[in-house]
Structure 1
Amino acid sequence: MDEKPPPGRPWQRRRFLAALGAGAGTAALLTVPTGASAAPRPDQAAPAKRTGWAAAATQNGWPVIGSDRASRLRVEGANATVALLPGTTAAVLLHVARRFHYEVDSIETINGHRSDRRVAAAYESNYLSGTAIELLPGRFPAGARDGLFPHELATVRDILAECEGVVRWGGDHRTLPKEGHFQIDVRPGDGRLRRVAVRIREWTEKPGQGAGTAPDIFSRPRLAAASGLADRQRASA
């Protein structure tokens, strides 16, 4: 049976308004460039030149795979499926997609593994290994910034912190941001990835935990974790 999404967006807006003024951590977490108020039009994204990715491994260190090694998996709660490298990587990326669907915007389109080696930026190579997803490409074209409202941005930061930094967000890329892009950001065999994947799987067996539970993203501990990780990941983008 499908999970039913909670009343996420109205709840998040109420929590966002209540949290304003909570402190410097909140302000830093929600900082967006001047003029950000709504999703960008696709024509705001400058065309990107694509080159061929020739390496045997993708930017995050995972081997390039053929379509026969990618599994098409369902995003629970959404009417969407995505091709990913099965296992721990898929477990974590599907969790990201579920939370995004429940708390940010309904996922109608999601891209995953692909065989086309033409990339506009190195991070796009990660689709070749099935270790990256692209949510709502029509809403978040490559090169466009400021496509998230502040409470949506705070939710994305909370998702990344919940994944303990094993996932990186394309919105932090300095030269070609893609705000619908999320990728595994650790090498194969990294114990942190397995730890996060195990915890996510445990949540599916316990009511009131995991995606669909509308966490209090503006609680002080969650804000601190999200803000600290945001600082580290933006510095290395």
Structure 2
Amino acid sequence: MNDLSRRRVLGAAGSLAGATALGLLDIAPAAAADPTRTDRAATTWRGSRSANGWKILDEAASHTIEGSGRSVRLAGGDSALLLLHVARRFHYEIDQLREEDVTGHTTSRRVRQPHESNYLSGTAIAIRSYAYPPGVRGGLYPHELVVVRDILAELDGAVAWGGDFVSPQESHFEIGLGPTHPKVRGVARKLRAWRDTPGLGAGTIDAFEPERLEDVEAFERRGAS
């Protein structure tokens, strides 16, 4: 755990109580994998687009995850900007990314779940897939879950998390909207403005601030309605 992550944990005890009161934490033990879902036989994904509507790529460029020294292959443009933001915040606020912790674009069309096809279009990343196996919930500590929920709210639904899927995959983050959706462009524009403004963006965020916890609660209420 890096210094920033350690400070987040040490300073989070009081905020965790507030997050619990807002219903943002699930502190139950990790559930056992559902064999009816995780043992599904792999099939070949056919067609020119992945499940989220993005064009499947024969190759994808390598993108640096700022501050981590790591890189991941992704489609370019707005989608890469959003997914790199997720990876940066994981690195800064949860734990340092290590070699091979993050994977992205693949050319293998063998998938067990439709969302896995999004790696074919370079519009999904897996962070520490070895630590968060498919079909298992509860792999994140409570303070880590607060950060993930804050990231999702900050990106306003443009990125979806596999931990919310019926068949969970907590390592998985994907572009949750199609390539022409205005929200993808709008969120990317916000991230670019942060990138160009000192003191904003990944590395400067405190997910445990009461206002941010309230924003997460409001975002999740909108999604449930």
Same fold (TM over 0.5): yes
Q: Matches of 2:72 and 2:186 in 1, distance apart?
A: 23
Aligned partner of 1:58 among 21, 46, 50: 50
Whole-Å Cα distance in 1 between the matches of residues 58 and 21 of structure 2? 43
> Could you say what the CA RMSD is over the residues aligned between the two structures, in angstroms?
2.5
1:171 maps to 2:166: no
* TM-score (ref. length: structure 2): 0.88
Residue number in structure 2 paired with 1:7:
3
- Measured in 1, the distance between the counterparts of 2:174 and 2:190 equals 18
Question: 2 CA distance for matches of 1:23 and 1:137?
Answer: 26
1:155 aligned to 2:156?
A: no
Match of 2:18 in 1: 22
The one-letter amino acid paired with 1:106 is: Q
For residues 24 and 211 of structure 1, do their structure 2 counterparts lie closer, same or farther at Cα, with a shift above 3 Å needed?
closer
TM, length-normalised to structure 1: 0.84
Per the TM alignment, residue 181 of structure 1 is displaced from its structure 2 partner at its CA by 0.7
Gaps of 5+ in 2: none
Q: Within 1, Cα distance between the matches of 2:210 and 2:176?
A: 26
Given that 1:85 and 1:131 are in contact with CA atoms closer than 8 Å, whether structure 2 keeps it comes out as yes
After TM superposition, the structure 1 = structure 2 runs for residues 46-85 of structure 1, keeping only pairs within 5 Å, are 47-67=39-59, 70-85=60-75
Partners of 2:221 and 2:133 in 1: CA distance:
24
1:134 maps to what in 2?
126
CA contact (8 A) 1:91 1:197 kept: yes
Cα separation, partners in 2 of 1:82 and 1:20, compared to 1, 3 Å: closer
Q: Which of 120, 129, 153 is the aligned partner of 2:112?
A: 120
Deviates more, 1:106-115 or 1:5-14: 5-14
Distance 1:11 1:48 in 2: 41
CA displacement 1:202-236 (0-9 Å, x = unmatched): 212222111111x2212232112223334565x59
Q: Would you say the 8 A contact 1:29–1:230 is kept in 2? A: no
1:187 pairs with 2:183? no
How far apart are residue 190 of structure 1 and its match?
1.2
**Which portions of structure 1, spanning 4 or more consecutive aligned residues, are displaced by more than 4 angstroms?**
45-48
Contact 1:158 1:222 in 2 (8 A): yes
How many pairs align? 220
Take 1:112 and 1:159, find their aligned partners in 2: how far apart are those partners?
A: 19
SS at match of 1:116: coil
How many angstroms does 1:46 deviate by? 5.0
Q: Alpha-carbon deviations, 1:40-78, whole Å to 9, x = none?
A: 9xxxx95442111113211111111111xx111111111
Question: Hey, what's the Cα distance between the residues in 2 that align with 1:60 and 1:232?
Answer: 21
Structure 1: state its 5+ residue gaps.
none
User: Which AA in structure 2 matches 1:119?
Assistant: V
- Match for residue 88 of structure 2? 98
1:24 to 1:135, Cα distance in 2 relative to 1, 3 A = closer
2:26 maps to a residue whose letter is T
